[in-house]
Amino acid sequence: MQNTVPFDVTALTTDPYGTYDRLREAGPVHRITGPDGRPAWLVTRYDDVRQGLADPRLSLDKSNATPGNYSGFALPPALEANLLNMDPPDHTRVRRLVVKAFTPGRIDKLRAPVRKVADELLDAVEADGRADLLAAYAGPLPITVICDLLGVPQADRRDFRAWTDALITPDPERPHLMKEAVGHMMRFFTGLIASKRADPADDLLSDLIAARDGEGGDRLSEDELTSLAFLILFAGYENSVHLIANSVLALLDHPALMRSLRKDPAGLGAAVEEFNRWDGPTPLAIRRFPLEDVEIGGVTVPAGETVLLSIASANRDPRHFTDPERLDPNRDRSGHLGLGHGIHYCLGAPLARMEMETALAALLERFPGLELDVPREELKWRPSVRARGLISLPVRWS
């Protein structure tokens, strides 16, 4: 039996977990009206979400949506050929090529540079005694890391961040800015790829170009190469910004945990996993479209309709996690879905973990008196059901 409920965007930004709790208890699958006014199926319980994430019958390819069913932002064709719009066998081929770039060796080589950037960002604000941590730290750190990984020249990074911000936080009064940002990034990547092709370096983009131009059957198309660079930048930046800020807020809300991690930074690895479960940056997995009529939680979802798998709801499902509302790095977090599951599990997970641990370690070490600089209730969240992120995080330190 399907459950029909109004889709209250405000409730999912102001009280997401309370809203998901109510939806989850009301039923496993709900027929909703999305923020674009189109219908979708929202899946809320852990077992169904986990199964859905790995179900080959649920396609990521937008061409499998029924006409008029999906109205996502249209990227240029050269940027659509990415892993978030691919099914096997193309997904398998492309992922196999790009996953080599996220080896433990490459990630370890980035650890010291990431810590250096973190320290420099904190140096810049330390004397002020206060800052918007999102603008001064959680934002600039990931873009620097991703640019270093891809091999983006230092001189181009300011524009890079502006374009990415235009996509992450679109201005409803100036919708043309998003389209212009995509155009700028498309031209930029085309030029950068040409430059790296002529003069390769020790960076991820040069490795991807080698995979594109190399011999053998498993090769990238030119569109796949361009869209992969775009995806790595965009996904790696947005998710890291929000996860860093959300995690710092969690620590400010749990001072005993903050003191414990400051005293014993070795616990940061477990804490990062728990932050990802408890208040991660991606409440919903990328939309999916059934290739055939599919039964989910006892509900039949017709082929081609939009399925939204709620990671946020699944990660707080008491059917799987004991006392899920409690933030506890020592809990059994096995199977948390903060980084996905199945063949679409987050490609950059090792980089994200290292970046988070390094960012939090530097911050806790530098500012023992860290606290919010505004009343907790004044913090505002992005008005989005697809991204869980603060608009700003004003803090101060003694």
Measured distance CA(164)–CA(238) in Å, rounded: 8
What's the pLDDT at 334?
A: 81
| Six-digit token string for 54 | 């790995």
Contacts of 393 (CB under 8 A, 6+ apart): 132, 133, 134, 138, 245, 248, 249, 379
Measured distance CA(359)–CA(117) in Å, rounded: 9
Asked which of 60-64, 127-131, 231-235 is least confident by mean pLDDT, the reply is 231-235
DSSP percent split of the chain into helix, strand, coil, nearest 5: 55, 10, 35
Average pLDDT over residues 192-219: 84
pLDDT at residue 189 greater than cutoff 80: yes
Top-confidence residue, 130 or 84:
130
Of residues 78, 211, 245, 346, which has the active-site annotation?
A: 346
Q: Where do we find the tokens 């987050």? A: 346
What's the pLDDT at 385?
A: 83
Average pLDDT over residues 368-373: 96
Widest pairwise Cα distance in the chain = 60
Measured distance CA(327)–CA(278) in Å, rounded: 7
Measured distance CA(286)–CA(282) in Å, rounded: 9
DSSP 314-342: HTT-TTTSSSTTS--TTS--TT--TT--G
What tens digit of pLDDT does each residue of 147-171 get?
A: 888 898 888 887 877 887 777 666 7
Percentage, residues of the chain above pLDDT 90: 58
- Give strand pairing partners of 288: 307
Q: Report H helices in 329-379.
A: 349-366
Q: How confident is the model at residue 236 (pLDDT cuts 50, 70, 90)?
A: confident
Of residues 355, 357, 359, 362, which has the active-site annotation?
A: 355
Asked which of 15-24, 30-39, 137-146, 273-282 is least confident by mean pLDDT, the reply is 30-39
What tens digit of pLDDT does each residue of 255-303 get?
A: 999 999 999 999 999 999 999 999 999 999 999 999 999 999 999 999 9
Sign of the alpha-carbon dihedral angle for 295, 301, 303, 307 = negative
Top-confidence residue, 372 or 37:
372
Of residues 40, 81, 235, 312, which has the active-site annotation?
A: 235
Average pLDDT over residues 5-18: 72
Does 80 qualify as catalytic in the annotation? Answer: no
- Give strand pairing partners of 371: 396
Q: How confident is the model at residue 372 (pLDDT cuts 50, 70, 90)?
A: very high
Across the chain, mean pLDDT equals: 89
What tens digit of pLDDT does each residue of 77-100 get?
A: 777 888 889 999 999 988 888 887
Amino acid at 233: L
Does 238 qualify as catalytic in the annotation? Answer: yes
Does 147 qualify as catalytic in the annotation? Answer: no
Asked which of 47-61, 143-157, 186-200 is least confident by mean pLDDT, the reply is 143-157
Phi (first) and psi of residue 58, to 5 degrees: -100, 105
Q: How confident is the model at residue 1 (pLDDT cuts 50, 70, 90)?
A: very low
Q: How confident is the model at residue 8 (pLDDT cuts 50, 70, 90)?
A: low
| Six-digit token string for 290 | 């059934």
What's the pLDDT at 77?
A: 72
pLDDT at residue 134 greater than cutoff 50: yes
Of residues 238, 273, 305, 357, which has the active-site annotation?
A: 238
Of residues 59, 227, 240, 310, which has the active-site annotation?
A: 240
- Measured at the alpha carbon of residue 94, what is the angle toward residues 311 and 60, in degrees to the nearest 5? 40
pLDDT at residue 7 greater than cutoff 60: no
Just give the CATH number of 3-396: 1.10.630.10
What's the pLDDT at 342?
A: 95
Percentage, residues of the chain above pLDDT 70: 94
Measured distance CA(276)–CA(197) in Å, rounded: 37
